[in-house]
Amino acid sequence: MSLHLTSEEKSWLAGEAGEPRALAMRVIAETARLMGAEKLIPVASAHIDGALYHGDSGTLFGEKLVDLGAKVVIPTTLNVGGIDMHCGAKTLLPPHEHDMAKRMMLAYEAMGCAPSWTCAPYQAGHRPALGSDVAWGESNAVAFCNSVLGARTNRYGDFLDICCAITARAPYYGLHIPKNRRATFALDCSGLSKALKNSDVFWPVIGTLFGQRAGTDIGVVLGLEGCSTEDRLKAFGAAAASAGAVGLFHILGVTPEAPDLITVTQGNTDIPVTPVTAKMLDTARAGLSTTKELAIDAVAVGSPHCSIDELLEIDQRIAGRKLVRPFYACTGRHAVKALEAAGRRSALENAGVTLVADTCVVVTPILSAIRGVLMTNSGKFAHYAPGNTGYAVQYGALAECVESAVTGRLVRDERVWS
């Protein structure tokens, strides 16, 4: 299939709108050809994952765009960077890498990107309209955008994302195409207890199970009506995108493209349905922990970034006590400002919580140099932490994470799983 460009897009490619747009168009057009796209489409916004330092070439690419005069032409937010420029959490990056990470972040701000620096831009006010086409990066953000907001995006990686923001164009393929968004399998949670489905600790586990089943397929979950919150859907999508390559999920009666089975399957209702059992959940939950050690060396939450509701829950569960283990709460500037407005930032920090903004402990070295056991309530942290940090992982609810940080040993309440 050959790629068709409009006359305006051809003029951009030829450099008639300046070198920054010509460079961006070369990247987008070549990507479109590789993906078999027949055309480019306008996109309404972008979320940039390519501003996280992975090496000097990324910084130099961003600075080259700035030198050329590149500016984004659509609303554009930034995913996490390599350092915390808001709360001041210290990284263990060598001086050169720290400098290059900061230069990279400043370059993207110079192009007009909003300095959101969060993997949960949808909780910081960036919420594209149902059915709109956008160009987002970062796996959980893509899953939430497609699934919960009902906008349409593929997973735009480094550095295609900034090119889309400079041109307001993206290749028309994948999840931009309506027929590719239909559910082709179902997981049925109808047989699970209401108490379990209404617990926060359940959602990363069922998300993990969904991601393992889905791979790159599109699925729908049945039997979760009346049990979801935005933070639970956030946790589900992050776990699903980590355990599989999930860019879109449907939950019947909850997400906007799944009001009923006929709609979500686009009329093809004869799809395989797998009842979710306690044994399946036990296996998925066990897989989120990589050790049987009971001693806890650190706790990290906030992948995706903690919302203000989650930060306030941590504060309430600490209830004035002191933590005996390092506790890292990764979050965005928007949530830190809301925490300050609520008058609770000092209380959290005085209890022993380290607020990490702009980045997170799994993508940049913030955790102390010791190697031990990290406890988390995040399916995404559980997936990536062993390889990225060297820590073994224990998975548990947010309440269990707080109690474990207070005691220094693993605390779990198994009643909801019984």
Tokens 């701000």 belong to residue: 109
Task: Say which DSSP state 392 is in.
Answer: E
Task: Quote the percentage of the chain above a pLDDT of 90.
Answer: 99
The answer to whether residue 369 scores a pLDDT higher than 80 is no
User: Contact 67/84 with Cβ under 8 angstroms?
Assistant: no
How far apart are the C-alpha atoms of 283 and 208, rounded to whole Å? 10
Report pLDDT for 297. 96
User: Contact 144/164 with Cβ under 8 angstroms?
Assistant: no
DSSP secondary structure string for all residues of 237-306: HHHHHHHS--S-EEETTTSTT-SSHHHHTTT-----EEE--HHHHHHHHHHT------B--EEEEEEEEE
More confident residue, 371 or 339: 339
Q: Where are the domains of the chain?
A: 7-177, 182-286, 289-417
The answer to whether residue 250 scores a pLDDT higher than 90 is yes
Q: Give me the mean pLDDT over the 49-67 stretch.
A: 97
Q: Give me the mean pLDDT over the 371-376 stretch.
A: 94
DSSP secondary structure string for all residues of 310-374: HHHHHHHHHTTPPPSS-EEEEE-HHHHHHHHHTT-HHHHHHHTEEEEESS-TTTS--S-S---EE
The answer to whether residue 370 scores a pLDDT higher than 90 is no
pTM of the entire predicted model: 0.97
Categorize the per-residue pLDDT at 1 as very low, low, confident or very high, splitting at 50, 70 and 90. low
How far apart are the C-alpha atoms of 273 and 285, rounded to whole Å? 21
Dihedral (CA of 225, 229, 230, 231) sign: negative
Q: Over the chain, what is the mean pLDDT?
A: 97
Report pLDDT for 368. 80
Categorize the per-residue pLDDT at 162 as very low, low, confident or very high, splitting at 50, 70 and 90. very high
337 burial class (0-12, 13-18, 19+ CB within 10 angstroms)? middle
DSSP strand pairing (298-306 vs 373-376): parallel
Fold (CATH) for 7-177: Aconitase; domain 3 (3.30.499)
**Residue pLDDT, tens place only, 271-316:** 999 999 999 999 999 999 999 999 999 999 999 999 999 999 999 9
**Residue pLDDT, tens place only, 186-237:** 999 999 999 999 999 999 999 999 999 999 999 999 999 999 999 999 999 9
**Residue pLDDT, tens place only, 6-15:** 999 999 999 9
Q: Measure CA 48 to chain center.
A: 12
Is 289-417 a domain of CATH 3.30.499.10? yes
User: Contact 173/1 with Cβ under 8 angstroms?
Assistant: no
Q: Give me the mean pLDDT over the 368-391 stretch.
A: 92
How far apart are the C-alpha atoms of 176 and 154, rounded to whole Å? 7
